[in-house]
Structure 1
Amino acid sequence: MKPRYYPHVVGAAILFADLLHAQTFSGQAPPPNTANALWYRSPGSDWVTDALPIGNGYQASMVFGGVAADRIQLNEESLWAGGPFEDPLYSGNNDVLANKQKHIDGIAALRNIIAQSEYKSTSANQSGTLWGSYRTLGELYINLTAPTSVINYRRELNMDEGVAHTSWQNPDLSIVTKDYFCSYPDHVCVFSLTTNATKGASFNFSFQTPQTDPVVAISCANNVITFRGQAETGGMQFEAQARVITEGGSASCQGGTIQVTGAKQGYLILAAGTNYNQSNGNAAANYSFKGADPHAKVSATLAAAAANPYSTLYKTHTNDYKKLYSAFTLNWDQESSSIPTDEAMVNYRITPNDPYVEWLTFNLGRYMLISSSRPGTLPANLQGKWAEGLQAPWSGDYHPNINLQMNYWAAQTTGLGETTLAVWDYIELNWMPRGAETANIHYNSRGFIAHEEQNIFGSTVYTAFHFYFIFFLSQIWENFQNTRKAFTASGDTDQNFLQELKTISSKTDRGTKVGSWGQLQEWKRDFDDPNELHRHLSHLIGLYPVSGYTISSVYTEYLDAAKVSLIHRGPGISDSDTGWAKVWRSACWATLGNASYAQYEIQLAIQRSFTNNLFDSYSGFQPFQIDANLGYPSAVLQMLFQDPDTVVDGRKSAFFKLLPAWPSSWGVKGSVTGLRGRGGYGLDFSWANGELTTAVIYADKAPKVRQVQIQTAAYKGAIVTVTSSGKKISGVTQSGNIVSFSAVLGESYTLSLK
């Protein structure tokens, strides 16, 4: 798949660049107050490599931090062209029911070809029409009368609070500070400028758009700018409203802008929406995905937010963000840097070994997931929720084969389980209705199916790629542990169906085979090329992320074969040089217990694929693709902690491996808190000199009583005590590097070395 490039906001970008280059900067701004921040001593100019992301799941913005002209690129998560909004007859690319027999015959013919080992290309698969694309909402500019030279300029993304900041000192020693954040509770984005200058500051807010046809209407009345249009003629409706509020001074509409004069503070509250409604993607709603005109809801959202003072808006946002972000912490031998992030990245590309940059990249992944996926929103797409122009790369859609699933690999383990609710809603409301039609018409099957590329309009029909739903099915398994529990929980009483399912499952091919050169076969037939360096590792999904189902310590021959395949696939450079390919390889090597190779791959990803704002790029720093950003934490976690499935491997215990592939350069000291393990357990633990020192297990959401096993190198040959409520518990057993004990729901257990 090759990226579909997109038009830029040419006039606005040129103006912004001219103003940026006219500014000069002096002094050396100190680092931010927190080490957990990306920071810079000059404004950003390039969208992919420089701008900083903020978002709340519903909206997203890219902040450049300009002085005289501050460009803020805007997105609304559901603003797409195409689909039933472009053509009411849009079918999700399903064929009509009358042609079902043609597809039955076609599938039978293909299966016969495969059975006879006569592999050849086929035109049976097709790409869809009216696919559409995710696109920009527009751009907001904060235009300020500013001196040509400023002192101690700094812009930053504070990941402790989820807020971006810009600040500088003017030659008259007055200070200007800007704050940028998007609030999930209030469903708005807020942009503020504050100064301590005696006479305040004068500046204006204005909107621009790259869209020329149909024309976007921009108007201003009562200090509210309204920005309204359609994605295409007759297409999706969108509307944004922005209210400006000042402290001191005054604000007034001037054409399509709001002019602020002599204010100590002026801030803009932005609400936005479309007439997209995911709940109407079903037969009852004629698969329209259409909801109400966005005007009323946008107006109400803006009015509710504007009723609060700025301090309340800020606190509401930071409290909500911290509740999620601070639930998990990971620290190792990182030391905060005195140099800006862009300079640190220049150094990293020369010497790819900086624990601080690697730690920041981990934190940015969690920050971006929180900022792009929350309950009630769409899932994070190929660019999260950040996309420039009218045509996003790959349409900014969803690829279940790797990209969408990688976005959520680390969610559950790092305390961000609520972010996955967007995925389940998307599957239920977007894939299942049309997917049932696809299964019936194209495969003569019950149930539903979704393939390799998805938009937000229920397009589940096949493209040129295979069906890739395995990871999401495994997550459903995780939620219910096995089919019997899922059957009970669903309320289904059809015992005949349950028995049929069990019978079919017992006959299903395991799908794991060792090939002629010792590899884990990628295909049903043994014709893998040992020189194939493809970026995908689809045949290793049972190694990671679906660890334990088909490849685990019980099936050592498959582990050995997976290692052979991983070696032959190379480090992920030759095919497109993508960041996500390296991150996936890192997690696989960690699963195999190889700390050196695991660390090498993520360092290679940062060195070759991550830009100065730590955005992952597809190839050569263009275009931005978020999957490696969100997948990076999962690779680090796989080095830190593993909890292979206990049902598949035949255990009835919770089994946790601590520091199974932790790199020595991160191993002098460190700690993790708030980690979540399979079975409803929380874990905190710390280490020194590369070995575990203490661990605490919380059975807060676990079964009433269950055996827990902890494996780590430090336990071999050591005496380990387990205490609960300050008292040593009985029944603890120790075998080699594994300690076992019974954990009771609601209790916590501390493991200490003697």
Structure 2
Amino acid sequence: MKIDGFYNNKKSNSITLFILTLCFMLCCKLSYSQSSLNSNSELSERIYTIWDNEPAPNRGGDFSITKARGYPYDEDWELHSYPIGNGYMGANIFGRTDVERIQLTEKTLANEGLYGIGGLTSFAEINLDFNHENPTNYSRSININEALAYVNYSHEGVTYTREYFMSYPDNVMAIKLSANKKRKISFTLKPEIPYLRDSSQKNTRTGVMKVENDLITISGFIEHFSVNYEGQIKVINTGGALTATQNGDKSEITVTNADSVVLLVTAGTNYELSEDLFLEEVHNKKLDKNSYPHEKVSDLMQAATEKGYEKLKQLHLEDYQSLFSRVKLQFNTAIPTKPTKLLLTEYQADASHHYLEELMFHYGRYLLISTSRAGTLPCGLQGVWSQYEVTPFTGGFWHNINIQMNYWGALNSNLAETFTPYIEFFDAYRPKANRLATTYLKEHHPDALAKDSLDNGWTIGTGTTPYKIVGPGGHSGPGTGALTTKMFWDYYEFTRDTTFLKETGFPAILGMSQFLSKTLVPVNDSLLLVKPSASPEQKHNGDNYITAGTTFDQELVWENHNDLLKAYKILDIQDDFKNTVEDELTKLDPIIIGKSGQIKEFREEEYYGEIGQKNHRHISHLCALYPGTLINESTPEWMEASVLTLDLRGNNTTGWAMAHRMNARARTKEGEKAHTVYSKFIKERTLPNLWTTHPPFQIDGNFGTMAGVAEMLLQSHEGYINVLPALPKAWDNGAYSGLVARGNFEISVVWKNGKATAIEILSRSGGLCKLKYKGISNKNVTSFDGQAVIFNKEKADLLSFETKKGERYYLKI
């Protein structure tokens, strides 16, 4: 394990920052290669590590404890285990030396779960009995730069090393056990199938294990959705002896006196993402119970075995680092040489050292790459990790903010590819979403039904799993669908992928506007209100508050309609519905200021807090501020009211809700307040393994604050690129490279004493670049070869210039 410092004292701080700036400017003169990710990659190379000097405790799950209706709760898994993942699978590593516990999750394995719509459930437990008591020089870690996990320790004069990774290219978990002396690797592999239940019990699950030579196969059936599952664990020893034992329904492999051992793990189910899966109403017919994953799992194992550990590792590193290495971000602070849990404890007592704030950003990118890759399901509430029999809130894809928050940071932190799973998921559930729209309109707006049901558009409600989607209603209004399509528009804005816009983005946004248009009820000639309408999860007098025209619904209809009109223009499409949208857009009256000076959550609200909970976790009426764009610097009264509303709402809330507040404060350009809520989030909602908690553990907090850090350093939603728009004093000196702005511009910045000293723009799609920073119009813009670039002075703090695809541009400030 490598833990290296970067800054050591105040003197070296200023020297290092000078070197950063000098390197940045020198890099401006370097020859440019189209394949290079960042011309200023020489800024520095920090190694980010999550580590501990003790194994994770392992007391197991407790069925007497439920969290968010999930069970059994396992505190040690949640707080102390270290996660690795590849989008398909996730594993939690405990790093123990007596009996190592590796808990395995496969994202498609589901039982009935909560609400009967399916829920993630643990796949297997992999136990390695080493019987090494009282180790010395112990450490366990995750190298975030490489997505490699380690366990290192000494026992009876021998130094032992374990290396773990989860490969996306080969969809396999690989573990290598080695020692500094020959013939010292001995252990017994003892897998377990968790939560077996007979047909008389809820969440019926069967399973068997068998061992043959060096391979243990686990397989079984979960009745509710007819899920067939299989996992394989292969033991490849160099030297020593291997003994396979079948003892009833238990399978074990014992390795004795080996020089080194590699374990390979593959897993899968008969799940197939398809339109039919969501259209099928009978739960146990959603999957073909006569389809088995054996061949798929065996092929993965054979391919991984043939490649061997070193080749698998090489491919893993090439794949992972091609994503992770795109962005560098560092504040002027040293990397402490203390266990991560101790850093957290010290930060909770004194938040004056800001390394943990930097580390959390990079950890979020690590987790997103680990949970969401093309060909896998999207990232749910718990990413790709669950030790539960019944996972809290199903571990699914909740559409009144949580799934969207999971992807808020994908685009600006240069990980657009991680959004692909949601696009694939949408393509599969879209036909069912069309039917849900018709069903909803039949109930609430039968007179608005179209002759062709496809013209009713589509909709989606909150509770969604890999097996079922639902329509809006109850505690959240139809705006959940438009909160979803915002992701599609942003994906286009950041990537400028016109093929995506034409084939997926435009049809999605159009269909949502078609549906939302039919939910609008005229109040008079100048006003249209969504009815029925609800602001997510707000209650009044103990019941869900259902009304007409909540700000949540009105603002998101506006956002979707506005995005649709922009798409119409880009694709040069004209039709009658465009005229309808243009007319409706003027009649939504989405933002209203109340008598307290607040953004109203409900139209009938006068003073803040008259309806609903004053300090509610959701700030749904501020979705037009973030992730929307309606509230911005061109609407100063609304911005002022948003600031007041955030002040009134407060920060004493759940994990993901703090993350939303952080992003909202970034949009109001209140860097200090954004930093305050981020610091509070780390202190109160971050666990020793740096997972974050609702509670219980929900990964949306990790991703929401990751997005918030990027949003504080770079914004582009107001028609221009705003550099360091919400920089707090805590981050007075620093640098980043590789963050992305709308228009598909990759931005790099160095700053000192709160002021930018150098800016680089890589134009990945060409087109007009508008750049905002104080006094920027008095500076010079140069190309990669040092030539002056002609630009327009829009304002003192705003300039614009035309760019060419693939070229870099520089400003020294």
What TM-score do the two structures reach when normalised by structure 2?
0.77
SS in 2 for 1:370: helix
Aligned positions of 1:609-624 closer than 5 A: 609-619=685-695, 623-624=696-697
Deviation digits for residues 496-521 of structure 1 (CA, Å, limit 9, x no counterpart): 44444444x44540411111211111
Matched, 1:709 2:770: yes
Query: 1:274 pairs with 269, 273, 280, which one?
Result: 269
- Distance in 2 (CA, whole Å) between partners of 1:714 and 1:302 is 59
- Candidates 796, 804, 813, aligned match of 1:736: 796
Quote the residue 1:639 is aligned against.
712
Q: How does 1:8-23 map to 2 (within 5 A)?
A: none
The equivalent of 1:86 in structure 2 is none
- 1:667 correspondence with 2:732: yes
Partner of residue 619 from structure 2, selected from 534, 537, 554? 537
Match of 2:118 in 1: 132
Structure-2 separation of matches of 1:221 and 1:298: 16
- In structure 2, list runs of 5 or more residues that go unmatched: 6-45, 58-75, 198-204, 443-448, 450-455, 493-500, 507-562
Task: Deviation per CA, 1:635-675: give whole Å up to 9, x if none.
Answer: 111111111243xxxxxxxx11111111112112x211111
Aligned twin of 1:144: 130
CA deviation profile, 1:612-646 (whole Å, cap 9, x unmatched): 11111123xxx211111111111111111111243
Residue identity opposite 1:381 in structure 2: G
Is 1:181 matched up with 2:172?
no
Q: Which of 218, 236, 240 is equivalent to 1:227?
A: 218
- Call closer, same or farther: CA 1:742–1:32 in 2, change over 3 Å: closer
Give the counterpart letter for 1:519 in structure 2: Q
Equivalent residue number for residue 305 of structure 1: 304
Query: Could you list the per-position Cα deviations for residues 419-463 of structure 1 after superposition, in whole angstroms to 9, with x for gaps in the alignment?
Result: 001111112212x22221111122135111111111222322345
| 2:154 corresponds to | 169
Pair 595,506 (structure 1): closer, same or farther in 2 beyond 3 Å? closer
CA contact (8 A) 1:722 1:750 kept: yes
Q: Which range moves more in the overlay, 720-729 or 222-231?
A: 720-729
- How many angstroms does 1:527 deviate by? 4.5
2:471 is aligned, of 444, 461, 470, to 461
Across the aligned residues of Structure 1 and Structure 2, the Cα RMSD in angstroms comes to 2.3
Change (3 A) 1:532 1:245: same
Deviation of residue 372 (structure 1)?
0.3
**Partner of residue 254 from structure 2, selected from 246, 252, 259:** 259
2:710 counterpart letter in structure 1:
L
Pair 238,494 (structure 1): closer, same or farther in 2 beyond 3 Å:
farther
Q: Which amino acid aligns with 2:648?
A: H
Q: Is the 8 A contact 1:35 1:337 kept in 2?
A: no
**One-letter code of the match for 1:170?**
H
Corresponding residue to 1:448 among 450, 455, 458: 458
| Cα distance change, pair 741–561 in 1 and its aligned pair in 2 (3 A) | same
CA distance in structure 1 between the aligned counterparts of 2:145 and 2:115, rounded to whole angstroms: 43
Give the structure 2 partner of residue 23 of structure 1.
none
SS in 2 for 1:410: helix
Partner residue, 1:650: none
CA distance in 2, matches of 1:293, 1:494: 48
Instruction: Determine the C-alpha separation between the residues in 2 that align with 1:234 and 1:49.
Output: 31
Matches within 5 A, 1:558-707: 558-571=638-651, 573=652, 577-619=653-695, 623-646=696-719, 655-668=720-733, 670-703=734-767, 706=768
Distance 2:706 2:366 in 1: 11
After TM superposition, give the deviation of residue 231 of structure 1 in Å. 2.2
The range that moved more, 454-463 or 479-488, is: 479-488
Which residue is 2:786 aligned to? 726
Give the Å deviation of 1:603: 0.4
Query: Over residues 21-63 of structure 1, what are the superposed CA-to-partner deviations in whole Å (9 max), with x where a residue is unaligned?
Result: xxxxxxxx98479640011000012111100000000000000
Over 3 Å counting, the alpha-carbon distance change for 1:233 and 1:404 in structure 2 is: closer
Instruction: State how 1:470-489 maps to structure 2 within 5 Å.
Output: 470-478=482-490, 479=492, 480=501, 482-483=563-564, 486=567
Identity of aligned residues (%): 28
- Rounded to whole Å, the distance in 1 between the matches of 2:92 and 2:587 is 48
Query: Hey, what's the Cα distance between the residues in 2 that align with 1:234 and 1:579?
Result: 32
The aligned residue for residue 347 of structure 1 is: 346
Q: Is the 8 A contact 1:65 1:166 kept in 2?
A: yes
Tell me what 2:327 maps to: 328
Superposed displacement of residue 748, structure 1? 1.7
Instruction: Work out the CA distance in 2 between the residues paired with 1:528 and 1:419.
Output: 42
Counterpart residue identity of residue 61, structure 1 = A
Superposition deviation, residue 67 in structure 1: 0.4
How far did 1:751 drift? 0.9
Displacement, 1:168? 0.5
Q: Answer yes or no: is the 8 Å Cα contact 2:102–2:125 preserved in 1.
A: yes
Contact 1:51/1:62 (CA < 8 Å) preserved in 2? yes
Alpha-carbon offset, residue 526 of structure 1? 2.4
Q: Distance in 1 between matches of 2:789 and 2:766?
A: 18
How many Å separate the matches in 2 of 1:640 and 1:188? 36
Specify the SS of the correspondent of 2:424. helix
Q: CA deviation at 1:490?
A: 8.7
Alpha-carbon contact 1:674-1:684 (below 8 Å) kept: yes
Match of 2:356?
357
Q: CA deviation at 1:695?
A: 0.8
Q: Deviations 1:235-270 (Å, cap 9, x if unpaired)?
A: 311110111111222323112011112112112111
1:567 counterpart letter in structure 2 = D
- Is residue 556 from structure 1 mapped to residue 620 from structure 2 by the alignment? no
Query: Which consecutive residues of structure 1, in runs of 5 or more, have no partner in the other structure?
Result: 1-28, 84-127, 647-654
Residues 111, 224 of structure 2: 8 Å contact kept: no
For the Cα contact (< 8 Å) 2:278–2:468, is it kept in 1? no
Q: Give the total of aligned pairs.
A: 654
Distance in 2 separating the partners of 1:663 and 1:234: 50
**Correspondence for 1:193 among 168, 177, 193:** 177
Q: Provide the secondary structure at the position in 2 that maps to 1:296.
A: helix
Contact 2:226 2:286 in 1 (8 A): no
1:564 counterpart SS class: helix
CA distance in 1: counterparts of 2:136 and 2:322, whole angstroms: 35
Q: What are the residue-to-residue correspondences of 1:43-122 with 2, within 5 Å?
A: 43-45=55-57, 46-82=76-112
Equivalence for 2:315: 316
Confirm or deny: 8 A CA contact 1:723 1:751 kept in the other structure.
no
* 3-state DSSP of counterpart to 2:458: coil
Distance 1:282-1:206 versus aligned 2 partners, 3 A rule: closer
Residue 59 of structure 1 aligns with an amino acid whose one-letter code is M
Q: CA deviation at 1:418?
A: 0.4
SS across alignment from 2:751: strand
Q: Within 1, Cα distance between the matches of 2:179 and 2:173?
A: 20
Secondary structure of 1:216's counterpart equals strand
| Alpha-carbon distance between aligned partners in 1 of 2:262 and 2:570, rounded to the nearest angstrom | 49
1:516 aligns with 2:595: yes
Determine helix, strand or coil for the equivalent of 1:48.
Answer: helix
CA distance in 2, matches of 1:419, 1:258: 37
Is the 2:48–2:359 Cα contact (8 Å) retained in structure 1? yes
Give 2:525's aligned residue: none
Q: Deviations over 1:310-341 (max 9, x none)?
A: 11111111111000000111111131111111
Residues 599 and 245 from structure 1, CA distance in 2 versus in 1: closer, same or farther, beyond 3 angstroms?
A: same
1:129 to 1:566, Cα distance in 2 relative to 1, 3 A: closer
Contact 1:204 1:260 in 2 (8 A): yes
Partner of 1:409: 408
CA contact (8 A) 2:781 2:809 kept: no
Give the AA of the match of 1:443: L
Output the CA distance in 1 between the equivalents of 2:220 and 2:180. 38
